[in-house]
């Protein structure tokens, strides 16, 4: 027994040690510990972020050098705080706060202390920085904008936050990453890859040479320059036209799906979100909850399409054999839904496809819509077919574009109406849902969807996914999703009569005053009733002015959608702006300078101020005064 005692103690100790060692070295061990190893410092070499050019090779975004003051808290020694604060132009409170923040992040990893100094500040600090142990200056490059427009397309870059750091281990604190737009979507292409040098340190944090003789070190990989499909000149021009107006303009090249311009109003100068003033400026923009300049209306603003949607109903009716181009309906300055009369501005009389479109007759299209439903044994089958056709134009979906944000819009379905009215053929019908006929009902679209829909009409039956990337590193992209045409469910032959109607909109229809000499355009106006909730009261505001167009008719180079909030009738703002945009793009110069002057100067700020004035206000003023009526803020007025 006593002989065994010592032996068993020896064995038990051995087992205990092996257990503890296997716990430490096998179970607690993680192979990426090199990242936490205090003995290894990583020194980064940042490549330059890729430049962004427009479709014609004009520079949009370049780089400017910038300098961050970094701090490694545990290396900070006694220092003259006041003097350093003076140099860095911060107060003592901020100094303490930043240092505390850095220490919480990590006492031994570098944190940004003061971001993005100007070149002048850097020159001054450079000499003195070495007196402050633990502080050093890290060079980075900042974005430089060779344009004051396109903020919504280009997006911006900013310092990575906690969430980015946990999501993507590539980043370390203080690095920049794309936040929205092209900068976000093509972050990996633009950013390149930083080079890393591993330095072996001792416990006093002194460098004692490269780790593993530098075999793990990597060289930085340059970011690629890219060309985007935006036309710089057109984009800048469009933004000038949108000054003082809210809404969106999207122009697409129908033959490729390339987005020529994408304008959101109001917008902001992209260079506001660069450098030290970025966060202050961003707050100002972000918290402007009335005009919402950071809200990209060109891709995220969902509203009823209004009359341009009539073209889709015409195409569906032709495809389903519900009408022929000569089928006619009579307009009695309106039409009846049950015992209620609904108005129409077209002037009344017999309407066929052609003048139904160019005069934008509501009665005609309600008739067409009912005809479509008559082609099917049941309302739900009709609705399903109608929904399928509408969706084939890219409505009700995100389109699969390479834009960072966006909204899908809505296309109503059998399910929706079943939910609203109940299941069964008697519960709802074409009459119940007649608003869809004139683009006022449950259909909601974004400007880019409208432009894409117009491109599909211009192409006579197909479209390409709208996108903004054109070239990477000077080479044309061939992303299959962007080069393969998406076909609509409408046969090619049905497009001609509809396009003829749209061309006649310019010749003799709702847009006859916005013709461009020498360019054959097909278009469609829209005047969309505009209801908003103000203090949870449904209130009508001045109509939205909508216009879609493509030109030239026979060989379309541009398809455009213009959506101007509270711009009143279609041709009044949207039509004019669209025609100027088309002229600018095709002719590269504007012949109608007086119209241009008027569009540049006029603003709609007075309209946007109305609902916030707290007073009674009139809507749809100036022209067509007989239709304008007084709406009280408090009273819930019914329509027409």
Supply the Cα-derived Rg of the chain in whole angstroms.
32
How many Cβ atoms are within 10 Å of 501's Cβ, its own excluded? 25
Give least dist CB 211 to other proteins, A: 7
User: Out of 9, 219, 609, 630, which residue is the one contacting other proteins (CB under 8 A)?
Assistant: 9
In the complex with other proteins, the residue whose CB is nearer, 25 or 593, is: 25
Q: Taking the complex as a whole, how short is the minimal distance between the CB of residue 561 and other proteins, in angstroms?
A: 58
- Four-point Cα dihedral 592, 598, 599, 603, nearest 10: 180
Contact set for other proteins, span 15-34 (CB under 8 A): 16-18, 20-22, 24-26, 28-29, 31, 33-34
User: How many other CB atoms are found less than 10 A from the CB of residue 554?
Assistant: 9
CA distances for 307 relative to 312, 381, 407, 502, 544, angstroms: 10, 24, 21, 11, 11
Number of neighbouring beta carbons within 10 Å of residue 441: 15
Query: Between residues 25 and 289, which has the closer beta carbon with respect to other proteins?
Result: 25
Sole binder of other proteins in the list 200, 397, 410, 431 (CB under 8 A): 200
Q: How is residue 141 annotated by DSSP?
A: E
Closest CA to 570 of 409, 379, 358: 358
Please state, in angstroms and rounded to a whole number, the distance separating the CA atoms of residues 316 and 205.
74
- Residue 164 exposure: Cα atoms within 13 Å on the Cβ side: 17
Distance CA 254, CA 559 (A): 6
Instruction: Decide if 116 contacts 105 (C-beta within 8 A).
Output: no
For residue 225, the SS3 value is: coil
Tokens describing residue 555: 């060989």
Residue 157: strand pairing partners: 178
**Closest distance of CB 94 from other proteins, Å:** 24
Measured from the CB atom, is 10 or 537 closer to other proteins? 10
> In this structure, what token pair is assigned to residue 527?
């005047």
Q: How far is the CB of 228 from other proteins (least distance, A)?
A: 45
x-or-dash pattern for other proteins, window 29-68, by CB under 8 A?
x-x-xx--xxxx----------------------------
Report the residue number, 5 or 93, with the smaller CB distance to other proteins: 5
Q: Which of 128, 212, 597, 598 binds other proteins (CB under 8 A)?
A: 212
Which of 519, 497, 537 minimizes the C-alpha distance to 579? 519
If the CB atoms of residues 163 and 206 are measured against other proteins, the closer one turns out to be: 206
By beta-carbon proximity to other proteins, the closer residue of 6 and 615 is 6
CB of 100: closest distance to other proteins in angstroms?
14
User: DSSP letter string over 265-293?
Assistant: ES---GGGGSGGGHHHHHHHHHT-TTT-T
Q: Which of 203, 339, 588, 626 is close enough to bind other proteins by CB under 8 A?
A: 203
> Is 213 or 324 the residue whose CB approaches other proteins more closely?
213
For helices 379-391 and 414-421, give the axis angle rounded to 10 degrees: 140
- Stretch touching other proteins by CB under 8 A, among 9-17, 117-125, 247-255, 427-435: 9-17
Q: Does 213 bind other proteins (CB under 8 A)?
A: no
Cα dihedral 612/613/618/619 (nearest 10): -20
Output the smallest distance, CB 34 to other proteins, in A.
Answer: 8
Name the residue among 359, 172, 389, 145 with its Cα closest to residue 269. Answer: 145
Nearest approach, Cβ of 193 to other proteins (angstroms)?
A: 24
Nearer of residues 18 and 479 to other proteins, judged by Cβ: 18
Select 20 or 492, whichever has its Cβ closest to other proteins: 20
Any bridge partners for residue 330, and if so which?
A: 350
Of the candidate spans 6-14, 81-89, 375-383, 398-406, the one that interacts with other proteins by CB under 8 A turns out to be 6-14
Stretch that binds other proteins, among 52-60, 118-126, 141-149, 208-216 (CB under 8 A): 208-216
Please report how close the Cβ of residue 83 comes to other proteins at its closest, in angstroms: 29
> Using CA atoms, how far apart are residues 594 and 600, in angstroms rounded to an integer?
10
Least distance in angstroms from the C-beta of 227 to other proteins: 45
In whole angstroms, how close is the CB of 541 to other proteins at the nearest point?
Answer: 57
Specify whether the CB–CB gap between 442 and 418 falls below 8 A. Answer: no
Shortest distance in whole angstroms from residue 72 CB to other proteins: 16
CA distance 482 to 468: 10
CB closer to other proteins out of 26 and 289: 26
Q: Which is nearer to other proteins, 210 or 552 (CB)?
A: 210
Pairing of strands 59-71, 111-117: antiparallel
- Estimate the crossing angle of helix 92-105 against helix 81-88, to 10 degrees: 90
Distance CA 356, CA 329 (A): 9
Asked if residue 339 binds other proteins (CB under 8 A), the reply is no
Minimum gap (Å) between residue 205 Cβ and other proteins? 9
In the list 208, 337, 479, 609, the residue contacting other proteins (rule: CB under 8 A) is 208
Site membership for other proteins, residue 211 (CB under 8 A): yes
The contact set with other proteins (CB under 8 A) reads 1-3, 5-7, 9-11, 13-14, 16-18, 20-22, 24-26, 28-29, 31, 33-34, 37-40, 200-203, 208-209, 211-212
């Amino acid at each position: 027994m006593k002989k065994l005692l010592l032996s068993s103690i020896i064995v038990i100790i051995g087992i205990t040690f092996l257990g503890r060692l296997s716990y430490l070295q096998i179970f607690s061990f993680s192979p990426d510990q090199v990242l936490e190893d205090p003995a290894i410092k990583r020194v980064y070499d940042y490549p330059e972020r890729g430049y962004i050019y427009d479709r014609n090779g004009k520079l949009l975004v370049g780089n400017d050098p910038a300098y961050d003051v970094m701090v490694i808290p545990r290396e900070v020694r006694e220092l003259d705080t006041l003097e350093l604060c003076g140099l860095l132009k911060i107060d003592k409170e901020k100094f303490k706060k930043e240092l505390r923040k850095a220490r919480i992040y990590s006492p031994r990893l570098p944190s940004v202390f003061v971001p993005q100094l100007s070149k002048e500040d850097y020159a001054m600090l450079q000499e003195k920085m070495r007196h402050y142990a633990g502080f050093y200056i890290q060079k980075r490059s900042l974005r430089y904008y060779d344009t004051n427009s396109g903020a919504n397309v280009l997006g911006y870059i900013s310092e990575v936050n906690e969430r980015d750091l946990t999501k993507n281990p590539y980043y370390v604190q203080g690095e920049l990453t794309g936040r929205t737009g092209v900068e976000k979507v093509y972050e990996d292409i633009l950013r390149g890859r930083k080079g890393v040098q591993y330095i072996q340190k001792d416990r006093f944090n002194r460098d004692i040479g490269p780790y593993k003789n530098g075999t793990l070190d990597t060289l930085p990989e340059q970011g690629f320059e890219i060309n985007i499909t935006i036309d710089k000149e057109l984009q800048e021009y469009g933004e000038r036209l949108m000054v003082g107006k809210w809404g969106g303009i999207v122009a697409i090249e129908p033959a490729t799906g390339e987005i020529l311009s994408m304008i959101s109003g109001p917008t902001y100068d992209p260079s506001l979100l660069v450098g030290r003033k970025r966060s202050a400026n961003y707050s100002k923009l972000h918290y402007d909850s009335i005009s919402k300049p950071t809200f990209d209306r060109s891709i995220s603003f969902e509203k009823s399409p209004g009359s341009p949607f009539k073209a889709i109903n015409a195409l569906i009716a032709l495809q389903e054999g519900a009408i022929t181009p000569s089928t006619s309906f009579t307009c009695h300055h309106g039409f009846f839904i049950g015992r209620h009369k609904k108005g129409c501005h077209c002037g009344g009389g017999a309407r066929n496809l052609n003048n139904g479109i160019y005069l934008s007759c509501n009665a005609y299209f309600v008739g067409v819509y009912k005809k479509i439903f008559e082609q099917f044994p049941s309302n739900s089958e009709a609705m399903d077919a109608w929904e399928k056709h509408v969706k084939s134009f890219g409505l009700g979906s995100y389109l699969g574009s390479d834009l960072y944000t966006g909204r899908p819009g809505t296309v109503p379905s059998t399910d929706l109406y079943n939910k609203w009215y109940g299941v069964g053929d008697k519960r709802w019908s074409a009459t119940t849902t007649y608003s869809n006929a004139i683009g006022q009902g449950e259909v909601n679209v974004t400007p880019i969807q409208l432009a894409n829909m117009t491109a599909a009409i211009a192409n006579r039956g197909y479209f390409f996914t709208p996108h903004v990337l054109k070239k990477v590193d000077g080479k044309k992209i061939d992303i299959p999703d962007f080069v393969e045409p998406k076909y609509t469910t409408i046969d090619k032959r049905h497009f001609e009569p509809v396009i003829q109607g749209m061309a006649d909109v310019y010749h003799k229809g709702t847009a006859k005053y916005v013709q461009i000499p020498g360019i054959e355009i097909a278009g469609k106006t829209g005047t969309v009733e505009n209801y908003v909730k103000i203090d949870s009261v449904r209130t009508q505001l001045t109509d939205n002015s909508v216009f879609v167009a493509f030109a030239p008719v026979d060989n379309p180079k541009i398809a455009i959608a213009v959506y101007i909030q509270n711009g009143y009738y279609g041709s009044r703002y949207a039509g004019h702006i669209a025609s100027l945009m088309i002229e600018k793009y095709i002719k590269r110069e504007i012949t109608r300078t007086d119209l241009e002057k008027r569009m540049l100067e006029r603003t709609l700020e007075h309209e946007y101020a109305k609902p916030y004035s707290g007073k009674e206000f009139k809507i749809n003023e100036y022209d067509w005064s007989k239709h304008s009526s007084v709406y009280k803020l408090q009273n819930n007025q019914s329509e027409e």
